[in-house]
Copies of this chain bind each other. A is one copy, B any other.
Amino acid sequence: MTKIVIIGGVAGGASAAARARRVSETAEIIMLERGEFVSFANCGLPYHISGEIESRDSLLLQTPESFKSRFNIDVRVFNEVIAIDRQAKQLNVRNLITNETYLESYDKLLLSPGASPIKPPISGINHHFVHSLRNIPDMDKVLSTLLLHKPKHATVVGGGFIGLEMVEALRHLGLEVSLLELANQVMGPVDIEMANMLHQKLVDNGVDLRLKTGLAAVNDCPIKLSEADNTDDYDKPLSPHYHLTLDLTDNNSFATDLVILAIGVKPETRLASECGLVLGPLGGIAVDAGMQTSDADIYAVGDAIETADFVTGKPTLIPLAGPANRQGRLAADNMLGGKKLYRATQGTAICKLFDMAISSTGLNEKSLLKQAIPYEKIYVHTASHASYYPGAHPITLKLLFCPDSGRILGAQAAGIDGVDKRIDVLAVAQRAGMTVYDLADLELTYAPPFGSARDVVNQAGMVAANVLLGDEAVCHVQDLHHLTATQMIVDVRNPGELTAVGAIEGAINIPLPELRDRLNELPKDKELLVFCQVGLRGHVAYCMLVQHGFKVRNLSGGYKTYQMVNAHF
């Protein structure tokens, strides 16, 4: 009879426990969780704060009781493991209710401790109006601050998934919101021109967005909290005085009522490192493809570990629920004698921001550049379904691929409708080792409410294949920024479009329908950088001009991409 002990009862730990019991009816399975809750929906926390998820109970997916009755698992909440004795295969556990400690032995140990919010060592960071959001008690505290202190202005620090979701939640509740982000863009997994769509969405929704700006200090507001708030009459509106003032890294400061700290997480590795398990280069617990740590009897899963990146094979930290879930299931199999191998992580992710979604899979351009991996890229802006059917919205898709093989390196998409579907399709294609040529041939669902006879992904595949086959030479916005004397920009849009959406300085305008008759206006000794609104008419112009002996490149994604790249926030 194998005795399995699992440290941590959320995502990976919970999956592992349930799977272990299905595999072995006889194993003894103990789950130790230092918090009050196991198997809760941490991805749902911002949406309960916003009120969109009404019931708090719906976030509690399993309870210690349901684990016991369905899976015969001994779940011990408020039980914190203090130390692991690998020699003795024994844990030193503290019951946080009684404060007593006890020893618990194991045959196989699973570490699923997760990651903890990063808390920078700045003045005032422990103020009771500064919140993180990682678990149910965190959420309860935010809700109680909202209820009791009726803040009017909130500041979110960090523009990642949780930061953006919290910005939306707080705006949903009617608060004024400032968002501080130390980098030059929110949502690190995508590139900056894609993030600019989010920046625009934030501004459009009244968010005070401050990029390249960090939090330097948190101070009590001169008007003391006790004077303004210390009353039993919670319904009485607050005085117009704010609770806090924040000092920023750009030397500005402003007043706010509430801070949400969402600058990222770091793997919880204290237990692992204290007992001498090997950590990886990024500071996560090192595991092999079987989720085994450097100790053959100890496995680890979830946000605390490093896995292999799908494209590069190098270690990466991917604190996401999907991988954690699959790793938990797999570790359970292997602790009970299985030989399952985890496949590398693409990091497929998505974030909702107001009416928009942004999503990515694989590597982004920043990391490709950083790692000096050769790539080509294209942009398309294509309707989410047949444009003549109501509810179609453009999807902006950026596709990164290998210039030799055409293999998919990464993809990013943003839009109001159908973004998740396109990144899912591309994530499967990437995992299957497909090339951009394969994308052109994909047979996807089509009826006017759902797609187009030539889907966004087909379109992207065709454009990328044209580039690789030499059927089209593309240029990018950066090329237009560094124009040489032997280059010339040609805008093939209709004059009305220039007036409506803007023009590029120095470009000459010959509308596509007139181009064939006005070839004599163009020089053959210059390289023509052609563009239209999204790249399609530019391609038609490209084909025409090349065959008439001109040197040409087409701006990938057209003027729309130009605007994305050149937006400033």
A539 contacts across to B, CB distance below 8 A: 22
Contact A448 B322 (CB under 8 A): no
Residues of B within 8 A of A351 (CB): 447
How far is A26 from B431 in the complex, measured between Cα atoms in Å? 41
Q: Residue A216 at the B interface, CB < 8 A?
A: no
Please determine whether B427 and A429 come into contact, CB atoms closer than 8 angstroms.
no
For residue A256, CB closer than 8 A to chain B, the reply is no
Chain B residues near A22 (CB, 8 Å)?
A: 539-540, 543
Structural contact, B352 and A44, CB atoms closer than 8 A: no
A443-B346, A512-B70 given; A388·B58 CB < 8 A: yes
Partner of A389, one of B25, B53, B345, B421: B53
Q: Which B residues are in CB contact (< 8 Å) with A78?
A: none
Query: For the complex formed by this chain, how many copies does it contain in all?
Result: 2
Query: How far apart are the CA atoms of A449 and B21 in the complex, in Å?
Result: 30
CB distance from A392 to the nearest CB of B (A): 11
Residue of B nearest to A445 (CB): B350
Contact A450/B352 with A323-B443, A424-B424 known, Cβ cut-off 8 Å = yes
Asked whether A215 is an interface residue with its Cβ less than 8 Å from the other chain, the reply is no
A375 within 8 A of B: no
Residues on the B chain within 8 Å of A548, using CB: 25
Q: Are B444 and A424 in contact (CB under 8 A)?
A: yes
B443 touches A324 (CB 8 A): no
Residues of B close to A21: CB separation below 8 A: 540, 543
Cβ-defined partner of A444 (8 Å) among B322, B513, B540: B322
A270: B residues at CB distance < 8 A: none
Residues in B with CB closer than 8 Å to A69 are 513
Whole-angstrom distance from the CB of A350 to the nearest CB of chain B?
A: 4
Closest Cβ–Cβ distance, residue A73 to chain B (whole Å): 12
A92 within 8 A of B: no
Contacts of A429 in B (CB 8 A): 428, 432
Nearest CB in chain B: distance from A45 CB, A = 10
Establish whether residues A389 and B447, one from each chain, have CB atoms under 8 Å apart when the complex forms. no
* Given contact pairs A41-B386, A389-B44, A424-B424, A547 touches B25 in the complex (Cβ within 8 A): yes
Q: Does A348 contact B (CB under 8 A)?
A: yes
Additional 13 contacts, C-beta under 8 A, given A44-B388, A424-B445: A41-B448, A59-B388, A321-B453, A322-B458, A347-B443, A348-B443, A350-B446, A357-B450, A420-B450, A420-B451, A427-B443, A428-B432, A432-B433
Binding site for B on A (CB under 8 A): 11, 18, 21-26, 41, 43-44, 47, 52-53, 55, 58-59, 61, 66, 69-72, 161, 320-326, 329, 343, 345-352, 357, 359, 361, 386-390, 420-421, 423-425, 427-429, 431-434, 438, 440-451, 453-455, 458, 462, 512-513, 516, 537, 539-540, 543-544, 547-548
- The 27 listed contacts between A and B (C-beta, < 8 Å) are A11-B453, A18-B540, A24-B547, A25-B543, A25-B544, A26-B547, A47-B448, A53-B448, A58-B387, A322-B443, A322-B444, A322-B454, A322-B458, A323-B443, A325-B453, A326-B454, A329-B462, A348-B445, A349-B446, A350-B446, A420-B450, A420-B451, A425-B425, A427-B443, A428-B432, A432-B434, A432-B438
